[in-house]
Structure 1
Amino acid sequence: MTAESVTTAVPRSAGRVMPGWRAVLAVMESFWIWYRRGWRATVVSSVLQPVLFLLAFGVGFGSLVRTGAATGGAPYLVYLAPGLLAMTAVQTAAFESTYPVLSGFKWQQVYWGMSASPITPGQIAVGHLCWVAARLLSSGAVYLLAIVLVGGAAGIGIVVSLLVAVLCGCAFSAITMAFAATIMNEGSAFASYFRFVLIPMTLFAGTFFPVSQLPAWLRPLAWATPLWHGTELARGAALNTLRWWPALGHLAYLLALLAIGVALVRWRFTVRLSR
């Protein structure tokens, strides 16, 4: 008998189900209790590393890039900053939605303990996703402060860029969590996921240069990524160059991806925690 089957032997408390918002808050609280003790372990990946990217590419390399049509007439640092904001949100979402999810099922097994309470598997999934959103918002706010301090903000629109980055990260997180919930081994598939999905997306989805500079056959792959839509929205908001119809198309794509991801992750958590 596996550890998972032993944990599921604990019955749900008298068939009661906690109201949705209370259940989500309870799940978020459990992650917060852990995070307030172990937050130092995440500082490098969620704050320090993005700031180094900003300094190296925006301030260092950016000093060699001429202002022109490719950057929308803005200095490269200002052009790059909202893209890095969206990229950082996607990267943080990926890290928070892979091994932590597998751990919740396989190693620490916190999901099994939660599911033995009046919290349903679907509520656990949504609660974890809301926690990821809170992480993206908090780390993104710190990163936004760094952007402002180095002169990467062209105006108040950069605040909208932060909200767009959180939406982009959540959409990617939901899909990633649904994938992570299918993993039964030690997570070896995550290495391929990072190598062939996350890294190419961060390099070729418009963060560092316009997608129009890519070969024609590669552009549709970039357009299909959530990061490209998030970057276009975030950059347009930061530079005040948004046009209504393209903006609505990008927003609709991210919202649709988020809705599909939430449905998938609720389904996968329900299947796995109901065994």
Structure 2
Amino acid sequence: MTEMARDRARPALPRVPALAVLAHYLVGYRRTWRAGVFSSFLLPALTVLGFGVGVGAYIDRGVGGVSYLSWIVGGLLASTALQVAIAESTWPVFSNFQWIKTYFAQSAAPLRVGDILGGHLAYVLFRVLTSATAFLVVTGLLGALRSPWAVLALPVAALLGLAVAAPTFAYAAAVDSDSWLAMLFRFAVIPMTLFAGVFFPVESLPLALRWLAYATPLWHAVDLSRAATLGIAPQWSVAGHLLYLAAWVVGGWLLARRAFGRRLVV
């Protein structure tokens, strides 16, 4: 068989090959989505009730003139997006290199490194958006949203998801043991969640810790999400927040593209 005949016999890739990678993950998710119902719907409800109602009952005056329940919703939504993005970008990426070798199979398909990376990031974005939407619906039903502008928290969650997922892809592709992934949660994700303004204003922190909180992508998403759910202006400029998160996306993409290229291109 001639080379031209072999090319004709080979199944054609879609116009955007990354969509084929996204379809691969969506097919798998179609079989496992039921397991995520708890984390997508019931867990947000329990979190809001536990922190917003339980802890909020001990805060008489609320925060900034609003109830603690309404105040905390924006931060919890951003934190949920962060947790989903990190969860989908650590062990899944590591296993695709080290254990089940999915990336190498996709590279032999053949798919370009950018297609493999872009398709998987698109799936992470899908997971972040579905989880954030479920959280927004649950909190809306609980009466914790104070403004119709709350829907703008969804694109903020999507941008945050990419801002943390892209560099995490690079990290998971570079490490040689999953112990490093546990360290990422212990020394980066948990401190970021605790001190980036999700549960209390960062202004109550010492100056050094406050600037560390400002340096995290989570704080910028928290400020935007809280402004959207409360219907107020954010503490910093909207453009500044968005540009900072976009810089994390671009920088993370470049790092991940380089790390994936080193592993997949022989």
TM-score by length of 1: 0.88
Structure 1 range deviating more: 53-62 or 94-103: 53-62
Question: Do structure 1's residue 85 and structure 2's residue 74 form an aligned pair?
Answer: no
Instruction: Give the unaligned 5+ runs of structure 1.
Output: 1-12
State how many pairs are aligned.
Answer: 258
CA distance in 2, matches of 1:191, 1:221: 21
Q: State the secondary structure of the residue aligned to 2:207.
A: coil
Distance 1:245 1:83, change over 3 A: closer
Paired residues for 1:235-250 under 5 Å = 235-242=226-233, 246-250=237-241
Match for residue 186 of structure 2? 195
Aligned pairs (5 A) from 1:8-19: none
State yes or no: 1:167 paired with 2:159: yes
Q: In structure 2, give the amino acid aligned to 1:26.
A: A
Gaps of 5+ in 2: 1-5
1:264 counterpart (255, 258, 265): 255
Say if 1:205 and 1:211, in contact at 8 Å, map to a contact too. yes
> What amino acid is aligned across from residue 93 of structure 1 in structure 2?
A
Q: Distance in 2 between matches of 1:51 and 1:190?
A: 28
Shift of residue 210, structure 1, vs aligned partner: 0.5
Structure 1 position 46, deviation (Å) = 4.3
Counterpart in 1 of 2:25? 31
2:48 matched to which residue of 1? Answer: 54
CA contact (8 A) 1:126 1:266 kept: no
Q: CA deviation at 1:135?
A: 0.6
- Give the match's secondary structure for 1:217: helix
> Identity of counterpart residues, as a percentage?
45
Q: Do 2:133 and 2:154's aligned partners in 1 also have CA atoms closer than 8 Å?
A: yes
Which letter maps to 2:185? Answer: F
Q: Residue 4 of structure 1 aligns with which residue?
A: none
Letter in 1 for 2:133: A
Tell me, yes or no, if structure 1 residue 22 matches structure 2 residue 33: no
1:212 has 2:206 as partner: no
Per the TM alignment, residue 43 of structure 1 is displaced from its structure 2 partner at its CA by 3.6
The answer to which of 71-80 and 29-38 deviates more is 71-80
CA distance in 1, matches of 2:164, 2:115: 19
Q: CA deviation at 1:245?
A: 6.1
Q: 1:158 to 1:118 in 2, by over 3 A?
A: same
Contact 1:98 1:190 in 2 (8 A): yes
The TM-score, its normalising length taken from structure 2, stands at 0.91
Deviations 1:20-74 (A, max 9, x none): 8621211110001111112233344444333321110012211221335xx2222
Which amino acid letter does the alignment assign opposite residue 53 of structure 1?
Answer: T
